[in-house]
Amino acid sequence: MDAKYVIFFLVVLVMVPAGAVACMLWHPFRHAVLVVMVWSTCIPESVGINFLSREFYRTTTRGLEVSLADLCALILLAALLTDSSRRFRWFLPLTIPTLVFLGVVLISWGCIGDNPAVPAQALEVPYPVFEVKLYPMFEVAKMLRGFLVYLVVTNYARDDTDFHVFALAMGLVVMYMGYMGLYNRYILGINRVRVSFGHANSYATYMAMMGAVMVSLAVHSRSLLLGGLWLGLTATAGISVILTISRGGLLAFASGLGLAATFLLPRYVTVKNVLLPLVGALGAAAILAKSMETLAGRFDADTEADMEYRGIYNREARLMVSEHPFGVGMGNFSAFSWVRYGELADPDLHPGTPPHNILYMTLGELGYPGVLAFALIWARFYGLALPLLLSLRTGIVPALAVGCVVGTVVSHIQNFLHMTYRETPMYFMMQMFVGVAMAARFRLREDAQRAKESVRNEGHSG
């Protein structure tokens, strides 16, 4: 057994029980674990390990991943289950839609035939066969890990302090990743910055999601100093996106800022919230002016030809579902692209690249049932989250909830261009954002019930 696996198992055997005990004995230690869990999503390679790794296979999940975020989630789960002062919620919103989606994944997995041989022209694939019965297991394991994170986050966030800790954790991540982006660009000289992610578009998506949260906290903050700090972190996220030169990332970031401001500014009509947007607009104009030459070169590229080329991958997905009603299996798009559908879609296409659009990727791998199940999850979520967006309540809980809901929208904008939802850092962060939003929904509903009971009791006493 490799030394890294021995070290991993020793860490698990010591760290998880010790961390759980520390959380039980000293409540604030939970907050530290939560901060580490959030932070660990931004450095996936440094704090994770893969079992059954298939690094040469082109997909978003190439092994049974276990990361520091998983260990932190287990620590928090143990601490929350042993906390008699809190009722643990097992059956959360989105459980049924998630089970429906998982059911489609399992049916699709069960329909897969034998492992196809790797074509001779696939020189970069050092395996004799594509292990199409193995790759779906990687995706299912990631789904279960993500649901664990969602379960823990939703049960963790109960009082204002918990939500403030989330805000702090996300602010620290933006500071760190912003610094790393600047270091990569201006010290290491990397043109399209990607920092610790596999692609510049992934880094752009991650920071654009964070930007939606940062601007929400900037609007919420009462003091000019604190609002300026959160606005500075919003700018840091924006600069990071610019450094990636990602067209979709810039669109997603700007959309996130606009949506968050639309839902929150009517709740916080203050002098600060008049001044800060003006300062932010001037700063953004200066940054864009400085970066215009680089950005113009990127936007002047032949976008129509690029989208047409990406459309070939979508054509592959349609061909797959025409022969496999439940798709070719989650994680198997690349394999079947090499084996059959790449050449059918376009003989000149270099096979193996999954679609950039998450819906077409889901279509090819899970068929129309998978697309409908995926849509069901997010339709249910936004149906539950809509009152959070339309409410006029103020405070850290509704403000952070708005930022997180808008952050998921930001991610979905990129999902039509770069399938980032299926990448572990963005997938885990999405589960955290959904968990924060659902925790806020529980909290605000409980506050409303207590208010009604208080009014009722005052009426009886009168």
Q: Is residue 358 part of a domain?
A: no
pLDDT band at 307 (very low <50, low <70, confident <90, very high): low
Over the chain, what is the mean pLDDT?
87
How large a percentage of the chain has pLDDT more than 90? 50
> Which tokens go with 15?
């760290």
Read off φ and ψ for residue 101, nearest 5 degrees: -60, -45
Q: Is 423 helix (H, G, I), strand (E, B) or coil?
A: coil
Mean pLDDT, residues 287-306 taken together:
60
For position 69, what pLDDT does the model report? 92
Is residue 14 within 8 Å of residue 146, measured between CB atoms?
no
For position 43, what pLDDT does the model report? 87
pLDDT band at 388 (very low <50, low <70, confident <90, very high): very high
Distance CA 307, CA 295 (A): 18
Q: Is residue 444 part of a domain?
A: yes
Q: Is residue 318 part of a domain?
A: no
How much is the pTM?
0.91
Residue predicted with more confidence, 250 or 6: 250
> Which tokens go with 70?
């998983």
pLDDT at 361 over 90: yes
Q: Is residue 257 part of a domain?
A: yes
For position 94, what pLDDT does the model report? 94
pLDDT band at 306 (very low <50, low <70, confident <90, very high): low
Is residue 282 within 8 Å of residue 331, measured between CB atoms?
no
> Which tokens go with 110?
């069960």
How large a percentage of the chain has pLDDT more than 70? 92
Q: Is residue 222 part of a domain?
A: yes
As for how many domains the chain has, the answer is 1
User: CA–CA distance from 26 to each of 34, 149, 205, 223 (Å)?
Assistant: 14, 22, 36, 31
Is residue 196 within 8 Å of residue 46, measured between CB atoms?
yes
Q: Is residue 320 part of a domain?
A: no
What residues contact residue 334 under an 8 Å CB cut-off, 6+ apart?
Answer: 57, 58, 59, 351, 352, 353, 354
- Eight-class DSSP state of 67: E
Q: Is residue 421 part of a domain?
A: yes
For position 332, what pLDDT does the model report? 92
Distance CA 225, CA 222 (A): 9
pLDDT at 326 over 90: yes
Strand partners, 316: none
pLDDT band at 346 (very low <50, low <70, confident <90, very high): confident
Q: Name residue, tokens 């395996």.
A: 127
Enclosing domain of residue 157 = 134-301+394-461
Read off φ and ψ for residue 126, nearest 5 degrees: -85, 45
Tell me the chain's radius of gyration from C-alpha atoms.
23
Q: Name residue, tokens 């919230």.
A: 273
pLDDT at 459 over 80: no
Mean pLDDT, residues 322-343 taken together:
91
Q: Is residue 41 part of a domain?
A: no
